[in-house]
């Protein structure tokens, strides 16, 4: 059976301890009653003042109920269910008596079982939830530290050379510095990872802040129809499903359909959805059409920025070129947040068509498109 190291973290940076509990602990540890009385009087004599233009004015004599006490606890125990259950019971009783509260979601900060085999320890240590850069630095520091300790141990056993702690630490930090210069990544903008990189002696490369981008569903101008399209594939390659939703200049529903096409990839499904929307609009006599898709590749293909058309869609492409000769079509890209209605159509995995009467499951999407501003993060 292996062992485990458990670091306990409190719910706040400064933990709360009831004063009565503190005095009782002092008495149980052998301190005299007079000493406990002095501690209580010191706590009770504390007061707070308000600074006005840098000058303290007045004071509040109301005594706080708790004393701020900052510390963490590190436990070592056998790595078994009974030890974990016992530790959890001890912490629960301690919290009830002292007033300190442990966060259930952050009770065990780091949990590594120290088993007999080094590979198990290494796998556990390299699976901690860090960002890319901090994870790279942590791996380098962990492996280098193990190697340095093993090298010092061998020098002591075989060459009778005592290890120099300072020299070993300098070697480890030098390796971490080299890794920071050679291995680029990005770290989270969190206090935890900032403290980790600071303790390792590196600067760190925080991720660039991603500002939210407002996204709107925009209605077409009068006399035009707008088709929002989307495609889906549930394997690669797999059967392609397309969904198309038509609305007029007032945002009202005028038609929708979803259909199944031949096998292909996702970008082909997105392009097939655009082509099917054009053929349907031509069959309805709509000569002014605005097609909007959340696939940049599909839109660029229709705009001529990508000259090659997938061979699976060549016949459909030729039909659309003939139909589009007497139509005025505009293409644009939209973020997925404003294309959720047609995304639900593409994922139905069946063939259906609706004309004039909107299906019930689309009504919430249509209402949100007209009345809601979406936000997405592009970065």
Q: Residue 333: helix, strand or coil by DSSP?
A: strand
Q: Residue 1: helix, strand or coil by DSSP?
A: coil
- Residue-wise pLDDT for 226-248, tens only, equals 999 999 988 777 889 999 999 99
Residue partners of 371: CB distance under 8 A and separation at least 6: none
**Among candidates 343, 374, 375, which has minimal Cα distance to 361?**
343
At 123, phi and psi to the nearest 5?
Answer: -65, -40
Looking at the DSSP bridge assignments, the partners of residue 78 are 3
- Residue-wise pLDDT for 181-202, tens only, equals 776 666 666 666 777 777 777 7
Q: Cα separation of 78 and 95, whole Å?
A: 23
Q: Cα separation of 255 and 359, whole Å?
A: 10
Whether pLDDT at 112 is above 60: no
Q: How confident is the model over 343-347, as a mean pLDDT?
A: 89
Whether pLDDT at 377 is above 80: no
Q: Cα separation of 358 and 215, whole Å?
A: 24
- Residue-wise pLDDT for 125-142, tens only, equals 666 667 777 777 778 887
Tokens 């020098």: give the residue.
155
Residue partners of 82: CB distance under 8 A and separation at least 6: none
What is the pLDDT at residue 100?
61
Looking at the DSSP bridge assignments, the partners of residue 130 are none
- Give the side-chain half-sphere CA count within 13 A for 32: 3
- Residue-wise pLDDT for 350-372, tens only, equals 889 998 889 888 988 888 888 77
**Among candidates 90, 87, 94, which has minimal Cα distance to 16?**
94
- Residue-wise pLDDT for 273-289, tens only, equals 999 999 999 999 999 99
- Is the pTM for the entire model greater than 0.85? no
Average pLDDT over all residues of the chain: 77
What is the pLDDT at residue 52?
67
């Amino acid at each position: 059976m292996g062992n485990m190291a458990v670091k306990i973290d409190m719910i706040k940076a400064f933990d709360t301890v009831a004063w009565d509990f503190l005095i009782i602990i002092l008495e149980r540890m052998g301190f005299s009653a007079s000493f406990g009385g002095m501690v209580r009087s010191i706590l009770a004599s504390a007061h707070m003042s308000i600074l006005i233009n840098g000058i303290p004015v007045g004071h509040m004599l109301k005594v706080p109920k708790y004393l701020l006490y900052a510390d963490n606890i590190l436990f070592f125990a056998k790595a078994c269910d009974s030890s974990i259950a016992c530790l959890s019971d001890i912490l629960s009783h301690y919290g009830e008596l002292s007033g300190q509260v442990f966060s259930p979601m952050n009770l065990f900060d780091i949990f590594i079982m120290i088993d007999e085999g080094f590979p198990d320890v290494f796998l556990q240590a390299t699976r901690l939830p860090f960002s890319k850069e901090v994870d790279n630095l942590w791996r380098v520091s962990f492996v280098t530290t193990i190697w340095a300790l093993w090298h010092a141990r061998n020098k002591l056993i075989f060459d009778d050379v005592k290890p120099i702690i300072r020299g070993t630490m300098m070697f480890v930090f030098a390796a971490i510095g080299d890794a920071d210069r050679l291995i680029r990544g990005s770290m989270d903008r969190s206090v935890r990872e900032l403290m980790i990189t600071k303790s390792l002696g590196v600067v760190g490369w925080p991720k660039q802040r991603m500002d939210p981008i407002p996204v709107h569903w925009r209605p077409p101008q009068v006399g035009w129809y707008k088709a929002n399209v989307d495609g889906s594939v549930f394997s690669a390659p797999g059967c392609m499903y397309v969904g198309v939703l038509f609305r007029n200049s007032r945002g009202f529903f005028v038609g929708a359909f979803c259909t199944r096409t031949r096998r292909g990839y996702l970008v082909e499904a997105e392009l097939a959805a655009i082509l099917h929307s054009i053929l349907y609009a031509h069959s309805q006599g709509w000569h002014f059409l605005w097609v909007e898709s959340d696939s940049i590749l599909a839109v660029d293909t229709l705009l001529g920025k990508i000259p090659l058309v997938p061979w699976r869609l060549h016949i459909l492409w030729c039909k659309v070129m003939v139909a589009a000769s007497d139509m005025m079509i505009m293409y644009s890209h939209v973020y997925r947040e404003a294309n959720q209605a047609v995304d639900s159509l593409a994922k139905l995995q069946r063939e259906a068509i609706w004309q004039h009467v909107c299906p019930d499951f689309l009504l919430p999407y249509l209402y949100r498109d007209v009345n809601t501003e979406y936000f997405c993060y592009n970065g």
